[in-house]
Amino acid sequence: MTAPSLSMAGVTVLAGVAVRHALSLVELADGLSITLPLLLVNGARPGPRLYLGAGIHGDEAGGVALLARALANVDPAQLSGSIIGVLVQNPLALHADHRIPIGHYLKSPLDQMPIDPWTCFPGNPGGPLAEVIAHTLFGLIRQCHWAIDIHTPTRGGRYVPISILPPAALGEAAGRAEELAVAFGSGYVMKTSAGMYVREGILAVEATRAAVPCFTFEIGEGGRLEPDLVAAGTRFVGNALRHLGMLPGAVQRPATTMRLREFVGVRSTRGGLLYTEASLGAMVRSGQRLARIESVYGDEVEAILAPADGLFVRATTLSTVAAGERAATVALVDTTAS
């Protein structure tokens, strides 16, 4: 059976064909037109439609690279179903990155609205720019059966490769997002009801609420391109496609999948040079040293200790911290999950 043509974003893609398309997003003050770089892949045979997006925060080039590589590996002739790939979900942030490395939490001075579209879903076509971006992306997501939102942590932080689920309270679609996240196979799955990833307005939360099962994936570190992580992420996307029956072959499961239930951040009380001592991904005991802060004279002024037993899930890679900044994050392990 041959797949029907795919009509998306004003483009018609025949069965067994992949098309690059620049989707108009917004006009800037000087008349410059900003577009979203899409890759629309229509498989030779019918099947589900998967949304894959990267780069919604400015400094997440690693996610952009792994999505590009994963999509380049897909042969439309072998594909059942279709893929809506958005290589850079927020092109303005990619440009701004050189000047605004901490784009996540900045406020626009013009309208005092958040400039982070990631938090603005489902968006609003008549709202400020971030909401227009979210609205445009959501228009694509809603036409899909599944979605994955690919990130790297913001610059200065490094995660283990981790899939973060939408809240379980969203019901059946959240359950299907969990199955997809486990099959994705990064080896770490966070299922929590607390923190920024499960708030109202977040891409994966609102997609799942709209019956498009979706999870957030974090890998590596903002501002860096790491070939081994690009290769790993490419393998995980291939697993998702096999899990959904879109590509032939078996899912390559990791040896173990660690199920996690909460992020617990540790903030410094002193400023200085930050030396991380524990290995990212290590199991740590409550009270164990994770890092130390030395004054500019070289004296240790604070030891950063694990706040609980768990996984050392996110390291701060900035070389300096001020008092009150996050120095490390431990994830509590869910011992009840299978």
Hey, which residues between 165 and 204 contact Zn ion (CB under 5 A)?
none
- In whole angstroms, how close is the CB of 221 to Zn ion at the nearest point? 11
How is 161-215 classified by DSSP, letter by letter? Answer: EEEEPPPGGGTHHHHHHHHHHHHH--SEEE--SSSGGGSTT-HHHHHHHTT--EE
d(CA 322, CA 327): 10
The stretch near Zn ion (CB under 5 A) out of 12-20, 146-154, 292-300, 316-324 is: 146-154
In the bound state with Zn ion, the residue whose beta carbon lies nearer, of 6 and 313, is: 313
Stretch that binds Zn ion, among 15-23, 32-40, 49-57, 307-315 (CB under 5 A): 49-57
User: Binding string to Zn ion for residues 3 to 42, with x set by CB under 5 A, is what?
Assistant: ----------------------------------------
Residue 261 touches Zn ion, criterion: CB under 5 A: no
Residues 53-82 touching Zn ion, rule: CB under 5 A, are: 57
When binding is defined by CB under 5 A, the residue of 61, 134, 135, 151 that contacts Zn ion is: 151
Residue 172 phi, psi (nearest 5): -60, -40
> Which residue reads 């790297």 in tokens?
152
Size of the site for Zn ion (CB under 5 A): 2
Cβ atoms within 10 Å of 75's Cβ, excluding its own: 13
Nearer to Zn ion, 59 or 131 (CB): 59
149/302 with CB nearer Zn ion: 149
Nearer to Zn ion, 133 or 304 (CB): 133
172-184 and 227-243 helices, crossing angle to 10°: 130
φ/ψ of residue 309, rounded to 5: -65, 140
Which of these, 133, 117, 148, 160, lies nearest to 216 by C-alpha position?
Answer: 148
Of the candidates 105, 108, 101, which has an alpha carbon nearest to the alpha carbon of residue 119?
A: 105
Interaction site with Zn ion (CB under 5 A) = 57, 151
